[in-house]
Amino acid sequence: MRKNLRETLRSAIQEGRLVAGTTLPSSRTLAVNLGLSRGVVTDVYDQLAAEGYLAMEPRHAATVAGVASAALAKPEPATPEWRFDFSATTPNVELFPRRPWIRSVERSLRSASRDALDYGDHRGRIELRVAVRNYLARVRGVRTDPGRIVITQGFTQALDLLCRVLAARGATTLAFETPSLPDEWATVRASGLRLLACPVDRHGLIADKLKQSDAAAVVVTPAHQFPTGVVMTSARRTALVRWAAGEGRLIIEDDYDAEFRYDRAAVGALQGLDPGRVVHVGTASKTLAPGVRLGWLSLPADLVDEVRACKGASDSGSPAIDQLALADLISTGEYDRQVGRARHLYRRRRDQLVDALSARLPHLRVEGAAAGLHVLLRLQESVDDSAFARMAASRGIAVRALSPMLLAGGRDRGLLLGYGRLPFERIDEAVESLARVIGRDGG
């Protein structure tokens, strides 16, 4: 009863049902009314007074003290239920290899050393750094070693760490492709850096603007530019690496979905051309699921200590058990098998989506279909693609407009159509519904 009475009175004060200045019954009176001993009530009053909820003076009744009112928490927003989900940045999380992951977790826990459960190297578990090094060398042509890899909680943290280190070195400007993802612009701005927009054409990023800038680094997506889907040509890659080497700058390579190349072998990572100037960033968000929250930075040697220190200050390191599980998944070959299964499924969806768009919206151009998890449907420059996206949303169709992704503004218009979360058997119906939204006005 003592605990119940204490919690009841405390809650009444916290929630404002007993306002500041309210005089409470004497301990004797309240004890009689509640059928309790006076000692119980006295103990409760004394405890609440010690916590600051009651004011008590000798020979005076207890009164409610002033307690700051807390705003009632708003209900958690419900996840939207879309009829058709064309989200361009998300994979099919239902493909997550639950059983292999459970087996990897179990093996990792059985074999984990005691230090794996303690505070460790802020770069991440050596087991995962070795596994990632081997995987990147074999699949992406990345030249690195475990000592130059830092495990992160996805691309956002990787970008944040790099921005903080660059700002601490005195950098003021970071160049970014346009169009690109606005969420990433916010990360850059939060670090205090200014954004410089560098346009992208059908050959990739145009490096000319970089030469006249004070940008300390540039963020690029050379294997499959987001959102246009352009693959950076060898000539542009060479020019970009030459700029970085000549000016002593960095290239931050976001290799976000390079495993999903459909029409030929994936283009190797840009980092392989110059490991001393290119930071390679990869994650398991597309290959496994965003909720895994594991990614990696392959760094030039002179950045490792600063990024490791910044990572330590941010979170003292990523979850060790998850790192060990991912290392096991990679080392046993299950990760490669998972990527292969996903690539096969996504290719079928890609083919079906392109065919459906050609049949129902033949007057519009589809771009970026060679890789990744989305295509870009180009619209006329005179139309309002954001209005189309809002209209589609009102009809239960999740789709993203291109124009808000133009860092420096511009006239490009389009809709990003992801197929990661669009079941194969619903693609035709989804495109038909979208076509009714767009009509011929989009062309």
- Which residues of the chain are under the pLDDT cut of 50? none
* Structural tokens at position 398: 């999740």
Domain hosting 401: range is: 84-88+337-438
Give the model confidence (pLDDT) of 76-135 as tens digits. 777 778 999 999 999 999 999 999 999 999 999 999 999 999 999 999 999 999 999 999
Whether residue 76 lies inside any domain: the answer is no
- Residues 291, 177 share a domain: yes
Whether residue 71 lies inside any domain: the answer is no
Whether residue 79 lies inside any domain: the answer is no
- Alpha-carbon distance of 92 to 125, in angstroms, equals 28
HSE, CB side, 13 Å, CA atoms: give it for residue 69: 9
Give the model confidence (pLDDT) of 378-435 as tens digits. 999 999 999 999 999 999 999 999 999 999 888 999 999 999 999 999 999 999 999 9
- Residues 303, 379 share a domain: no
Handedness of CA 225, 230, 231, 237 (dihedral sign): negative
Looking at the 3D structure of the chain, how many domains does it have? 3
CATH code of the domain containing 433: 3.90.1150.10
Q: Which residue has the tokens 């005195």?
A: 170
Q: Which long-range contacts (CB under 8 A, 24 or more apart) does 357-361 make?
A: 357/417, 357/431, 359/431, 360/431, 360/432, 360/435, 361/431, 361/434, 361/435, 361/438, 361/442, 361/443
- Residues 56, 175 share a domain: no
- Residues 192, 328 share a domain: yes
Amino acid 441: pLDDT: 61
Q: 423 - beta bridge partners? A: none
Name the E strands within 328-399. Answer: 366-367, 374-378, 397-398
Q: What share of the chain is helix, strand, coil (3-state, %, to 5)?
A: 45, 15, 40
- Give the predicted TM-score (pTM) of the model: 0.87
Amino acid 340: pLDDT: 96
- Residues 387, 290 share a domain: no
CATH code of the domain containing 139: 3.40.640.10
- Residues 420, 343 share a domain: yes
Amino acid 60: pLDDT: 81
Nearest CA among 185, 184, 128, 183 for reference residue 151:
128
Which residue, 314, 332, 350, sits at the end of a domain?
A: 332
